[in-house]
A = this chain, B = another copy of it.
Amino acid sequence: MNYTYEYPRPSLTVDCVVFGLDESNELRVLLIQRALDPYAGYWALPGGFVKIDEGLEDAARRELFEETGVKDVFVEQLFTFGNMQRDPRGRVVSVAYYALVNLKDHPVKASTDAKHADWFKLGEIPELAFDHKEILAKAIERIRSKVLYKPIGFELLPEKFTLSDLQKLYETILGQLLNRRNFRSKILKLDLLEELERQTNVSHRPAQLYKFNKEKYEELSSKDGEFIFEIRFHHRDNREEGENEV
């Protein structure tokens, strides 16, 4: 069946930039290898055409699930890309989303029109299809700035985490080392972490496990317009401690 319109219309797609944290606390992006032309064989962001009767975010979630098996994750709209030359098939406008997931909970399984799906370290991104490099760059920029004033980082961690996990996450996203004591006091002062049990079976002093109290955060930020989740570190402190003790 065909569809006819009086004026030409661009195609509308969605693309997802999915970030995950790997075992060694490095940030990775979920890419799929395209099976079909254009750019067959190239790696690309998961995404695809928006159906006429589905919402934009719904389309992003659907494509993400179909192509990578990832579902039920934090997703937010990033930006809409509409350069004339971004797709060789013609005028294609793409609404990009970014997602944050705990990588361990989302083993990838490719399906549908994606040949493979895999998690890539940020430093090892292959050449990407379309303008996906640009979309990825925008997504990185976005999470870098957003993590400073919204508690989105917790989406990348498992439910239970240690303060060291959290600190490493911030160090990864911000690309700078942070002072441990100051990080801990800053985070704990927000009073948004719930203390759980301690770690077990680690060959060092077991760390306290915490859980982010999302309900409390939402209550505070909606009720009290003043409340700001602000994690900002003005001066960095690279050299770790334990140095010259005379």
- Residues in B with CB closer than 8 Å to A53 are 84, 91
Tell me which of B10, B55, B79 contacts A77 (CB under 8 A): B79
Residues A93 and B5 in contact, CB atoms below 8 Å apart: no
Q: What is the copy number of this chain in the assembly?
A: 2
Let me know if A246 is at the binding interface, CB within 8 A. Answer: no
Interface of chain A, main secondary structure = loop
Let me know if A151 is at the binding interface, CB within 8 A. Answer: no
Tell me which of B2, B8, B54 contacts A6 (CB under 8 A): B2
Interface centre among A49, A80, A84 (most CB of B within 10 A): A80
For A, the interface residue count at a CB cutoff of 8 angstroms equals 27
Residues B5 and A2 in contact, CB atoms below 8 Å apart: yes
Tell me which of B49, B55, B91 contacts A82 (CB under 8 A): B55
Given the interface pairs A77-B79, A82-B95, A95-B80, the reply to whether A52 lies near B9 with Cβ below 8 Å is yes
- Residues in B with CB closer than 8 Å to A82 are 50, 55-56, 95
In the assembled complex, the Cα of A95 lies from the Cα of B84 at a distance in Å of 15
- Residues in B with CB closer than 8 Å to A5 are 2-5, 9
- Residues in B with CB closer than 8 Å to A77 are 79-80
